[in-house]
Chains A and B, each alone.
Chain A
Amino acid sequence: MSAAHKTAPGAVARLLDSDFVYAYRRSPIAIAASLVAAICLLAALLAPWIAPHNPFDLASLNLLDSFKPPAFLAEGERAFPLGTDDQGRDLLSAIMYGARISLLVGILAVALALVVGISIGLTAGYLGGTVDAILMRVADVQLTFPSILIALLVDGIARALLPREMHEALEIYVLVFAIGIALWPQFARTVRGSTLVERGREYVMAARVIGLSSPRIMVSHILPNVLGPVLVIATINLGQAILTEATLSFLGVGLPPTQPSLGTLIRIGNDFLFSGEWWITVFPGIGLAMMVLAINLLGDWLRDALNPRLR
């Protein structure tokens, strides 16, 4: 009890003194990656306020502005730092708005995969027996199929089920659903594995003995103990989800040009690659790669930092 006053400096001070933060401050890669990720996130979040133009405002578009090269080239204009696309949209603004959509879809999809995966993993690991066997068999079978294929097929089915206009309006949610469904098994397997270990620990026995209900034990006692590895997978999967969305949009089964994500922008630009307007493809591509690289670097670093055995 006398230790209570020692913890008074609070959670922040303790966090700053932890091995985790220490490892972070000593890793230039982690710092650089989180900086880039933060810049991407801010640019995406604040796009409506800081982007030089509004690419969705049809009134401001002028076809005379189309195919302008980036400002640093001879024919570029300072109003369009990264040039314009075929409809005269400012690429920088389009990239910022596109990143917004890409991130939104990625985060929502991972959130969906998290919820589904954690619920199934906890249930399977805690209950065991037949439930466990069936759920994990399903996960195994799905894991043998590449996630991009699953997402493609789910999207294809949705396309066939929904009328065209409705599908276009709902495309973001369809994508979130398709990608989320494609990613859940990894979470489920990890959570199940950790749950199996935690289930045998004394504190779970103790919780049972004092008569707590199974869902309560699962959520408030086991879950916090399996969050570490889940956080790592979530980070790595966020990069994966963003790539999957971009790929689907690139394939023409993702977001329509009226609501372009980074993948859609690259797809649009791809049509003009041969006529020399390379910037329409390359800049959104660089934006996408930078964002995903930063997220992957962070995920990699997190995995090593949370798993000291690997160092």
Chain B
Amino acid sequence: MPAFILSRILQAIPVLLVVGFISFAMFAFVGDPVTAMLGQDYTEAQRIALVHKLGLDQPFFVQYAKFMWAAAQGEFGLSYRLARPVSGLILERLPATVELAMTSATLALLIGVPMGVYTGIRRNSFASRAFMVFSLLGVSLPTFLIGILLILVFAVLLGWLPSFGRGEVVHFSHWSTGFFTVSGLKALILPAVTLGLFQMTLIMRLVRSEMLEVLRSDYIKFARARGLSQRAINFGHALKNTLVPVITIVGLQLGGLIGFSIVTETVFQWPGMGLLLVQSIQVADIPVMSAYLLLISVVFMGINLVVDLLYYAVDPRLRMTRRVSANAP
């Protein structure tokens, strides 16, 4: 087990180095940080001084190593746009994004998985067909449009819920949370539904198709031939086997959630990292972009690790002492 975790972490390192390289390359080659920081009027001496100060006169790989070393300590330099340390900017925005993403993920999982199971088992019932049409609608409506429509109905027409911002937040040292105030919770509803809806329908559809796949397998037929009850077959065997691929899917979906939180945050002016990224991209604020990329990769690696651990818990084939890694998905 520890060896398993260790090998996964070791596998993640080259990936992080490559992503770090891309971030660094963006940082080093794209745009011109010096002119970006000095503005229009500057002397040659000022320029050289800044180039030296930023370490841009050093060899390429020295710069890369320094960049990664600084990144490991959370240092990404100054934002071109706001002239403030990127790490501070991101830290400030992190809690908002995490709370939004977690709420949406919980929503998507708690509703999406049971709906997927249901439509898989009773695939010809009226409710299943209705769910499927609804889900296709959910997949086809872009996140931002769902957000806009929700704002139109619940904020503009009905006036029940706020249309932007996080409401009142409570601070616990570095962390700010909207979970403990009424306005914070109210502000969370529309963004969380907007972000979760797409993922929920996607999860439902994927669980359904995995379930159908499993229900066709020989061991389910054999379970029927053994006379097991429908309930025992569906929940004791089919669902358990469906879980294995579903865990991967859900892991990937969490990544998607973070990606789409960019959109949701823009629609609702939610003060998270996604909004920060969009604002930075509009003015090509490279340090923020590269820091975001690196941070997100670390988050994804973390999610992947958790997914692997869950696999390990569910699938006994992985628990064998000699693992057949060639077949590992």
* Interface, chain A (partner B; CB < 8 A): 141, 143-149, 152-153, 155-157, 159-161, 239, 243, 246-247, 250-253, 263, 266, 270, 273-274, 278, 281-282, 285, 288-289, 292-293, 296-297, 300, 309-310
Q: Indicate which residue in B163, B263, B289 contacts A247 across the interface (CB closer than 8 Å).
A: B263
14 other A-B residue contacts (CB within 8 Å) besides A141-B19, A145-B297, A153-B293: A143-B252, A144-B300, A145-B255, A153-B289, A155-B281, A156-B280, A159-B281, A160-B26, A161-B31, A243-B142, A246-B144, A251-B278, A296-B139, A300-B136
Most buried by A among B137, B262, B281: B281
B136 touches A293 (CB 8 A): yes
B284 within 8 A of A: yes
Please judge, given known A-B contacts A146-B258, A146-B259, A274-B156, whether A152 and B281 are in contact too, CB under 8 Å: yes
Please judge, given known A-B contacts A273-B152, A293-B136, whether A309 and B216 are in contact too, CB under 8 Å: yes
B141 touches A160 (CB 8 A): no
B98 within 8 A of A: no
Chain B: number of interface residues, binned into ranges: 35 or more
A146 touches B255 (CB 8 A): yes
Q: For A150, give the chain B residue with the smallest CB separation.
A: B259
A285 touches B137 (CB 8 A): no
A141 touches B282 (CB 8 A): no
B262 touches A251 (CB 8 A): yes
B266 within 8 A of A: yes
What sequence of 0s and 1s flags, for each residue 118-155 of chain B, a beta carbon within 8 Å of any chain A beta carbon?
00000000000000000011011111110011011000
Q: For A164, give the chain B residue with the smallest CB separation.
A: B284
B114 within 8 A of A: no
Chain B contact surface mostly:
helix
Please judge, given known A-B contacts A146-B255, A146-B259, A253-B281, whether A289 and B144 are in contact too, CB under 8 Å: no
Shortest distance from the beta carbon of A164 to any chain B beta carbon, whole Å = 10
Please judge, given known A-B contacts A146-B255, A293-B136, whether A278 and B284 are in contact too, CB under 8 Å: no
Q: A residues within 8 A CB of B143?
A: 247
Q: A residues within 8 A CB of B209?
A: 310
What are 24 A-B pairs at a CB distance below 8 A? A144-B252, A146-B256, A152-B281, A153-B281, A157-B30, A159-B284, A160-B30, A161-B31, A247-B263, A250-B142, A250-B263, A252-B278, A252-B282, A266-B148, A274-B156, A278-B152, A281-B148, A288-B142, A289-B145, A292-B140, A293-B140, A296-B139, A300-B136, A310-B212
Q: Indicate which residue in A141, A149, A152, A153 contacts B15 across the interface (CB closer than 8 Å).
A: A141
B270 within 8 A of A: no
Most buried by A among B140, B256, B266: B140
Shortest distance from the beta carbon of A248 to any chain B beta carbon, whole Å = 10
Q: A residues within 8 A CB of B137?
A: 289, 293
Q: Indicate which residue in B15, B139, B148, B304 contacts A270 across the interface (CB closer than 8 Å).
A: B148
Q: A residues within 8 A CB of B117?
A: none
Q: B residues within 8 A CB of A285?
A: 145, 148-149
Shortest distance from the beta carbon of B265 to any chain A beta carbon, whole Å = 10
B140 touches A289 (CB 8 A): yes
CB-CB contacts below 8 Å: B288-311 with A: 289, 293, 296-297, 300, 304
Q: A residues within 8 A CB of B144?
A: 246-247, 250-251, 266
